[in-house]
Amino acid sequence: MEAFLVFLTKNPLHMVLFGTAVVTGGMLIWPFISRLSKPGKEVGAAQAVQMINRRDGVVIDVREPAEFNAGHIPNAKNIPQGQLQGRVKDLQKFKAKPVIVVCATGNRSRAAAAALQKSGFDEAYTLQGGMAAWRQASLPVEK
């Protein structure tokens, strides 16, 4: 260890290269660490399509109405995240079905899916990557 520290301090370029390696390594493992720290069920766009088509899954879009109107998954129901707690009763009829919660990138929908799970929705999922991933997969979008 001491020899390594001497090597690093001998030339400033060594410190820069070592620092770059540490930062790059951290960036590579960060997605795995963040998934472990954020509990919840996630599905990719292809899995979501299968749930919608094969199991009559329901899509809940928790974006604001302006975002929703700019483009959303066909047949999605818009319930902004701030209104979700007050409208859980409206969703009770979907409790036995898979519920896929969507937002722009997948961040807001995690909290919404967790709230639905606490309300008894055992099959509440987050669309991994949100609408950005849905569009990237070239899946249909309604306006």
141 alpha carbon, distance to own chain's centre:
18
Catalytic residues: 103
Cα–Cα dist 45/41, whole Å: 13
Q: Mean of the pLDDT values across residues 61-88?
A: 94
Asked whether the predicted pLDDT for residue 2 surpasses 90, the reply is no
What type of residue is 139? L
Give the list of residues 6+ apart from residue 104 with CB closer than 8 angstroms, or none.
Answer: 63, 67, 130, 131, 132
Look up tokens 């969507």; give the residue: 102
Contact (CB, 8 A) for 102 and 62: yes
Q: Give the pLDDT confidence score for residue 10 in this predicted structure.
A: 86
Asked whether the predicted pLDDT for residue 39 surpasses 60, the reply is no
Q: Mean of the pLDDT values across residues 76-95?
A: 92
Give me the percent of the chain exceeding a pLDDT of 90: 59
Give the list of residues 6+ apart from residue 76 with CB closer than 8 angstroms, or none.
Answer: 59, 60, 61, 68, 102, 142
Cα–Cα dist 127/23, whole Å: 28
Q: Six-digit token pair at 64?
A: 């604001």
